């Protein structure tokens, strides 16, 4: 009778489809009023010999059934992998959040600012949306001047300048130049056409209009040009304008300051050269090239080749006249350095377009 009961229970366990049916089986046979429990309870009324034999058998069956129920429950319970997935070790150390970092061009700009600030230059900023006057006319590039082609840019339809005109002092404390116009508007919108500035040279004009010499500033910022892109040219890029005006500032001062800058930026091995060149807003004008001793990775550039880094020269008398300075009293130098090219030389980057690709595999290397 006992072994029959055992078979019945085992069959039911085998056929059970869920946890609930297993619990029903348990309650029906092993619960307080269960059939097997009843058998076990009735043992006490049997003679001793029979009680011992039946008792052992009934307990064995009980154990076996409990074991099978346990296995059965395991089958229907949530899979263990799911448990592992959802399991949280609250004692584990926290995950380090990903910390973003500055774009390589920003890092280069900060380094450049730091070096020039240590040489007494203030850092100023001008608007990216400029008027034709500041980008061209005031820089001695009147309409129809062929040099306008060199700085072909994007012309705008709307008559709004939304970029704030800021100046930063030696300690990098930002303050806005007093323009007489609400914050965010350039100091002079003379009704001429608007454009995206092709160079940072307009900041020279804006600064000199509101300050008296002697002065030394740098003006980093974004520039735009309507030209075909290649490995060293893009339609947007960064420049740092430099301007130093005084009673007797000469090309020798320019050379000395630049040499010091390059030495601190690249290291003592750096070689630079000045080449005569033409810009309407300087006289004489030159271009500055850099030679790196190390093997260059710039596309199409063989080892030991020069890379043009900046245009420069002595400020043209007409520029001084445009801002109300007497050219007989003052002289100075100005330069416009390509920040992207500086970064390319520093990090040995072969293509300027990588800076603007937004490719994290590239950007995470800096």
Q: What is the helix (H) or strand (E) element at residue 69, kind and residue range?
A: helix 48-76
Binding of ligand FA5 at residue 310 (CB under 6 A)? yes
Site membership for ligand FA5, residue 224 (CB under 6 A): no
Q: Does 330 bind ligand FA5 (CB under 6 A)?
A: no
Interface mask (CB under 6 A) for ligand FA5, residues 278-307, using x and -? -x-xx--x----------------------
| By the rule CB under 6 A, 341 interacts with ligand FA5 | yes
Which of 16, 123, 219, 239 is catalytic? The answer is 239
Could you tell me which of 346, 132, 337, 115 has the C-alpha nearest to residue 243? 337
Which listed range, 40-48, 94-102, 274-282, 324-332, lies at the site for ligand FA5 (CB under 6 A)? Answer: 274-282
Q: Is 185 helix (H, G, I), strand (E, B) or coil?
A: coil
Active site residue 198: no
Among 131, 135, 153, 239, binds ligand FA5 (CB under 6 A): 239
Whether 199 sits among the annotated catalytic residues: the reply is yes
How far apart are the C-alpha atoms of 144 and 54, rounded to whole Å? Answer: 118
Question: In Å, how far from its chain's centre is CA 245?
Answer: 36
Could you tell me which stretch among 1-9, 18-26, 119-127, 231-239 binds ligand FA5 (CB under 6 A)? 231-239
Q: Is 233 in the site for ligand FA5 (CB under 6 A)?
A: yes
Judged by beta carbon, residue 6 or residue 316, the one nearer ligand FA5 is 316
Catalytic site includes residue 183: no
Helix (H) or strand (E) holding 318: helix 317-322
Catalytic-role residue among 203, 282, 319, 323:
282
Beta-carbon contacts of 94 under 8 Å, excluding residues fewer than 6 positions away, are none
CA-atom Rg of the chain in angstroms: 41
Respond yes or no: is residue 225 known to be catalytic.
yes
State which residue, 221 or 336, has the beta carbon closest to ligand FA5. Answer: 336
Q: How far is the CB of 301 from ligand FA5 (least distance, A)?
A: 14
Closer Cβ to ligand FA5, 308 or 350, answer by number: 308
On the CB side of 145, how many CA atoms lie within 13 Å of its CA?
A: 18
Q: Rounded to whole angstroms, how far apart are CA atoms 306 and 366?
A: 24
3-state secondary structure of 322: helix
Which tokens go with 198?
């092709």
- Angle subtended at Cα 215 by Cα 212 and Cα 216, rounded to the nearest 5 degrees: 150
Q: Output the six-digit token pair for 28.
A: 């029906």
Residue 66 annotated as lining a ligand binding site? no
Is residue 13 within 8 A of residue 26, CB to CB? The reply is no
Name the residue number minimizing CB distance to ligand FA5. Answer: 338
Q: The tokens of 286 are what?
A: 């030159």
Residue 93 has phi, psi (to 5 degrees) of: -65, 150
Burial string for 182-193 (b: 16+ CB within 10 Å, else e) reads: eeebbbbbeebe
- Choose, by CB under 6 A, the member of 35, 137, 283, 308 that binds ligand FA5: 308
Stretch that binds ligand FA5, among 31-39, 74-82, 261-269, 275-283 (CB under 6 A): 275-283
Which residue among 112, 198, 334, 343 is the active-site one? 334
Name the binding residues for Mg(2+).
Answer: 283
- Known catalytic residues are 151, 199, 225, 239, 282, 334
Positions in the binding site for ligand FA5 (CB under 6 A): 199, 201, 225, 227, 233-234, 237, 239, 279, 281-282, 285, 308-313, 334-336, 338, 340-341, 352
């Amino acid at each position: 009778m006992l072994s029959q009961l055992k078979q019945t229970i085992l069959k039911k366990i085998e056929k059970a489809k869920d946890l609930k049916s297993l619990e029903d089986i348990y309650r029906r046979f092993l619960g307080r009023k269960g059939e097997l429990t009843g058998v076990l309870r009735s043992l006490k009324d049997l003679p001793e010999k029979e009680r011992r034999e039946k008792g052992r058998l009934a307990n064995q069956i009980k154990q076996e059934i409990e074991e099978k129920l346990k296995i059965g429950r395991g089958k229907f319970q949530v899979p263990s992998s799911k448990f592992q997935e959802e399991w949280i070790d609250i004692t584990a150390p926290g995950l380090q959040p990903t910390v973003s970092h500055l774009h390589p061009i920003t890092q280069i700009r900060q380094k450049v600012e730091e070096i020039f600030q240590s040489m007494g230059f203030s850092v100023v900023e001008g608007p990216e949306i400029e008027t034709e006057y500041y980008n061209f006319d005031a820089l001695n590039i009147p309409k129809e001047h062929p040099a306008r082609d060199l700085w072909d840019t994007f012309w705008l339809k709307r008559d709004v300048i939304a970029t704030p005109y800021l100046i930063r002092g030696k300690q990098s404390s930002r303050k806005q130049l007093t323009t007489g116009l609400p914050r965010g508007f350039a100091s002079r919108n003379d009704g001429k056409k608007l454009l995206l500035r092709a160079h940072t040279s307009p900041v020279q004009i804006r600064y000199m209009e509101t300050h008296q010499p002697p002065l030394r500033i740098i003006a980093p910022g974004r520039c735009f040009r309507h030209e075909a892109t290649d490995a060293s040219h893009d339609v947007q890029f960064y420049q740092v304008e430099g301007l130093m005006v005084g009673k007797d500032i000469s090309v020798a001062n320019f050379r000395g300051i630049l040499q010091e800058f390059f030495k601190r930026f690249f290291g003592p091995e750096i070689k630079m050269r000045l080449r005569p060149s033409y810009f309407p807003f300087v006289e004489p004008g030159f271009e500055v090239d850099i030679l790196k001793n190390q093997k260059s990775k710039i596309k199409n550039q063989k080892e030991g080749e020069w890379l043009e880094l900046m245009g420069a020269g002595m400020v043209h008398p007409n520029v001084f006249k445009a801002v109300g300075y007497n050219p007989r009293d003052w002289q100075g130098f100005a330069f416009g350095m390509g920040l992207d090219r500086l970064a390319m030389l520093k990090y040995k980057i072969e293509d300027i377009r990588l800076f603007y690709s937004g490719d994290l595999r590239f950007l995470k290397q800096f």
